[in-house]
Amino acid sequence: MQISNIIFIILFASAITLFCRNLNRIIANIRLGREIDRSDRSIDRLKNMLRVAIGQSKMVRRPVAGILHIIIYLGFVIINIEMIEIVIDGITGSHRVLSDILPLTLYNFLIGSFEVLALLVLLACIIFLVRRNVIRLKRFWSREMTSWPRTDANIILFFEILLMLAFLFMNAADMMIMTINNREYIGSFPVSQFLLPLIDGMSIDNLHFLERFSWWFHIVGVLVFMNYVLISKHLHIFFAFPSTYYANLNPLGAFTNLDSVTNEVKLMMDPNADPYATPSVDTTSSDSFGAKDVTDLNWVQLLNAYSCTECGRCSSNCPANQTGKLLSPRKILMDTRDRLTEFSYNKRKGLEDNKTLLGDYITSEELWACTSCNACTDSCPIELDPLSIIIDMRRYLVMEESAAPTELNMMFTNIENNGAPWQFSAADRLKWKDD
């Protein structure tokens, strides 16, 4: 075993260890949320995950971005099969080990396919960079898209461009080495062969250096990328699958009710009920109604916050946002993720934490601008549900702080006094027919 193999093993093991540690920390943060049962309809949930997360069915609602994303998605999945060979080569010191295992025809087809996909991914990333930074699509330059979210997206795109170039130059250098040594080509190089004029005339030593440099750049880049994803919006690469599996499968217009409130209303409406009977549900619990901070949300909502791709489709379809209101569904998820990260960090370090999600991150003006139309949830490519967070925070404002807008407070008073939202008694409801 050579020193380079030892360095590779240490580097690879360190990257995997760091990745697992940080991923476990994120999972622990998600578990800070309240329990919610999403174990029902497992077959439907599996179908939903296959259709939306793997099949990318909702991405193509916007064909340009959808097709480009599918190209990158397929490239990410398929090209990384090459990582199997790279890891084995790095550990054992072999070179293109799969060519000794697979039939040469199949191996050549795989390498050729990887190269075509690498070129397509390269072009897709360039187009995405142009859309973001030259054309400057409006949804990428909204209020919540401050310098870091915009930089984060660009970093990932540059990362992928460099990784694809390293892969292609590695193959080009290897192809030139095989040509100089009069060896039969191992692999097929339909794209990297066009890079040969750029390296023609290089000495064999320089070609070996270029091939090794590109190889190391590619593998180190992938390991860095893997860990960077955990602090990036691109965490959806991993979390899109559980998010779509645990998504709300009920009709979007169906809202859940709090059990304690539901039972109280049933008690009021039942003429035979004993008002002094012991309630079947503990209504004396210290738990608050609704959500004031991230620990009041359920774990699926926290998973959604970490899964947000910041693509802005939710906000670009939100009628409140598009008419100039302060609300942005994307910001709701981004703020929830930022607050959860801050809360867990302070808790882990034993620091004082006097902030809350409601007030310090999300204002009541944002919450009451929502029309509850579900356009955000319907348009999300991985079926995240920012509306559920908005509704839970509204519940807190109404049921804990009595901080509803004047119009709603008038309606609540009418319902309490008159049994209807209108400002006249039940006895007067049919007077309209007398005219």
Q: Where are the domains of the chain?
A: 3-30+62-236, 405-435
- pLDDT greater than 50 at residue 321: yes
Separation CA 91–CA 276 (nearest Å): 73
What is the reported pTM?
0.90
When pLDDT is averaged across residues 384-391 and rounded to a whole number, the result is 96
Percent of the chain at pLDDT above 70?
97
* Phi, psi torsion values for 312, nearest 5 degrees: 85, 5
Contact 359, 400 (CB under 8 A): no
What pLDDT is attached to residue 284?
A: 45
Environment class of residue 282 by beta-carbon count within 10 Å: exposed (0-12), middle (13-18) or buried (19+)?
Answer: exposed
Separation CA 261–CA 258 (nearest Å): 5
What pLDDT is attached to residue 272?
A: 80
Confidence of residue 283 (pLDDT cuts 50, 70, 90): very low
Beta bridge partners of 34: 298
What pLDDT is attached to residue 215?
A: 95
When pLDDT is averaged across residues 58-86 and rounded to a whole number, the result is 90
Mind giving me the DSSP string for 175-234? HHHHHHTTPPPSS--TTGGGGHHHHTT--HHHHHHHHHHHHHHHHHHHHHHHHHGGGSGG
CA angle 119, 121, 126 (to 5 degrees): 95
Percent of the chain at pLDDT above 90?
75
- pLDDT greater than 80 at residue 287: no
What pLDDT is attached to residue 231?
A: 92
Separation CA 265–CA 358 (nearest Å): 28
Helix (H) or strand (E) holding 54: none
When pLDDT is averaged across residues 48-65 and rounded to a whole number, the result is 94
Neighbouring C-beta atoms of residue 306, cutoff 10 Å: 24
What pLDDT is attached to residue 415?
A: 86
What pLDDT is attached to residue 421?
A: 85
- pLDDT greater than 80 at residue 288: no
What pLDDT is attached to residue 277?
A: 64
Q: What is the pLDDT of residues 204-260, one digit of tens each?
A: 999 999 999 999 999 999 999 999 999 999 999 999 999 999 999 999 888 888 877
- pLDDT greater than 50 at residue 375: yes
What pLDDT is attached to residue 408?
A: 87
Confidence of residue 289 (pLDDT cuts 50, 70, 90): confident
